Structure 1
């Protein structure tokens, strides 16, 4: 028995909750992975997993073994990485998830720079706004905005997004210019943005000196895609609060105009997040550093404090 391979197979089954998903993520045949786990159970003389026709769960002994095994495997990966990172160029596959605007406006346009620096790293980028199960979906890291809700994950703050409140000239001609955030709840329309986690419109918060105002916004259209969100504003369907990098070209052309400029919208912290029990490989490390560097060069993204 290859004990290290068997331990990796067992750990991945626990993390994914499935022999099938574990085999897919490790890119080994399912029968081979199943045999490794069975050999490991025979070797330690204990049942590590509880199997039913519907699910796979970890036993009491398995939970203890999993905790020790993940630490041991992490130490081995870190040792290997420390020996090779200074001698070899980063290489391999990285699976990264991010939102559409981050991919479209900030990273994809400059991705050739990353490839030039690290030609042996292959990026697989998925674009979603939903919560990702990093371990279950075998994703190396995600780029997300907002405060972290899962404190078990490891995160590096890479910047803060600035926001602009704006509307189309056609909207202003029809409805006039709002003078106070509360106008958006009474006499004006917003384009509502639906949160992926709750399906509810994202509330807006404005700050002016010591005054802080939160509004829900009156709307006749709500969307769950950032590109559609900006498009709706361009066609005069309401006021939007968008990341500044998404609307700057429209502001320069006059297709959108800023509103409520006396009020401030707080920046949104951006993080790269990865699982705590996944070794920060050399390829992931250089990608994280490159993203942080890329964000720091963008005039509409403030440097992380």
Structure 2
């Protein structure tokens, strides 16, 4: 039995809650994962994992073993990395997840500089706006915006992003330019005067978790206005949201860095410029048990520099 591999497999199963997830994330055949755990339990003479119909749970003995195993693996990884760093460039793979517009407009254009600096360190880039399970999916770090709910993760704030409210000239010529956020709210459907524009069409962004569109948010002095409005098109991916605004189907709020090129070309125009929305914090996040990983540390330091020019603080 390769006891070190068995330890790594056990830790990954304990963290992900499934033999299959551990096998997929470690690129090991599932029967091999099962056999390694069985051999480890036989070697120890105790049961570490208890399977149920929906999840694999850690036994009390397994929980105690897990705590010591994670420390041991972390120490071994750091020892290996330190030795390798002394004689060569960092090498291996790092799995990163990032939202689509951040990937396409900022991170991917900067990757050649990362590859030039660390030619033996390869990046597996997952691009989506959906929430992910870092541990279960074997991801080293993610770049995500908004306030963080999971306090078990380590986060480094790398930027705060400004919002703008905008629409295409085609839309504004047809529907008019709003002067106050209240004009974005649909008017009473019982009105008989159909010569008036019935509010504005909103291009919304909806949550992948709840399926509900986030409201537009406006602040001015001490006044705050939240607008749900008439959402005619809603998407859950940031590049598609920008595309919908460019087509002229409605009005919406997007990050300033996204729309600046289209403002300069005239394909989009800002509205309600005297109203603001609180800046959107952007973090690079990673599991606490990987905070000593040299690969993650190198990537985090590099990506913080990449996003520094986009920080609106």
Normalising by the residue count of structure 1, what TM-score does the alignment of the two structures yield?
0.91
Q: Is the 8 A contact 1:96 1:140 kept in 2?
A: yes
Q: Give the Å deviation of 1:279.
A: 4.7
80-89 vs 108-117, which moves further: 80-89
Asked if 1:197 is matched to 2:209, the reply is yes
Asked if 1:268 is matched to 2:280, the reply is yes
Q: Quick one: which of 215, 227, 233 aligns to 1:221? A: 233
Q: Is the 8 A contact 2:92 2:120 kept in 1?
A: yes
**Residue aligning to 2:165:** 165
**Secondary structure of 1:302 counterpart:** coil
Q: Is the 8 A contact 2:263 2:269 kept in 1?
A: yes
**Residue aligning to 2:65:** 65
**Residue aligning to 1:278:** 290
- Structure 2 CA distance for partners of 1:16 and 1:211, relative to 1, 3 Å: same
Report the Cα distance in structure 2 between the residues aligned to 1:11 and 1:282, rounded to whole angstroms.
20
Report the Cα distance in structure 2 between the residues aligned to 1:234 and 1:97, rounded to whole angstroms.
26
Asked if 1:33 is matched to 2:33, the reply is yes
167-176 vs 45-54, which moves further: 45-54
Report the Cα distance in structure 2 between the residues aligned to 1:120 and 1:9, rounded to whole angstroms.
25
Q: Give the Å deviation of 1:227.
A: 2.4
Q: Give the Å deviation of 1:40.
A: 2.3
Normalising by the residue count of structure 2, what TM-score does the alignment of the two structures yield?
0.89
Q: Is the 8 A contact 1:74 1:279 kept in 2?
A: no
275-284 vs 94-103, which moves further: 275-284
Q: Give the Å deviation of 1:228.
A: 2.5
Q: Give the Å deviation of 1:86.
A: 4.3
Report the Cα distance in structure 2 between the residues aligned to 1:158 and 1:54, rounded to whole angstroms.
38
- Structure 2 CA distance for partners of 1:37 and 1:210, relative to 1, 3 Å: same
Report the Cα distance in structure 2 between the residues aligned to 1:48 and 1:90, rounded to whole angstroms.
34
Gap runs ≥5 in structure 2:
187-198
Report the Cα distance in structure 2 between the residues aligned to 1:143 and 1:302, rounded to whole angstroms.
17
Matches within 5 A, 1:1-305: 1-52=1-52, 55-186=55-186, 187-298=199-310, 301-302=311-312
Report the Cα distance in structure 1 between the residues aligned to 2:117 and 2:226, rounded to whole angstroms.
45
Spell out, residue by residue over 1:127-151, the C-alpha distance to the aligned partner (whole angstroms, 9 max, x if none).
Answer: 1111111121111111111001211
Q: Is the 8 A contact 1:178 1:184 kept in 2?
A: yes
**Secondary structure of 1:40 counterpart:** helix
- Structure 2 CA distance for partners of 1:159 and 1:87, relative to 1, 3 Å: farther
Spell out, residue by residue over 1:247-278, the C-alpha distance to the aligned partner (whole angstroms, 9 max, x if none).
Answer: 11110111111100011111100111111223
Report the Cα distance in structure 1 between the residues aligned to 2:148 and 2:69, rounded to whole angstroms.
27
- Compute the RMSD of aligned alpha carbons: 1.9
Gap runs ≥5 in structure 1:
none
Spell out, residue by residue over 1:48-84, the C-alpha distance to the aligned partner (whole angstroms, 9 max, x if none).
Answer: 1113566432112112221232233223323433444
Q: Give the Å deviation of 1:160.
A: 1.1
Report the Cα distance in structure 2 between the residues aligned to 1:32 and 1:221, rounded to whole angstroms.
47
Q: Give the Å deviation of 1:176.
A: 1.6
Q: Is the 8 A contact 1:78 1:279 kept in 2?
A: no
Q: Is the 8 A contact 2:21 2:136 kept in 1?
A: yes
Report the Cα distance in structure 2 between the residues aligned to 1:238 and 1:24, rounded to whole angstroms.
42
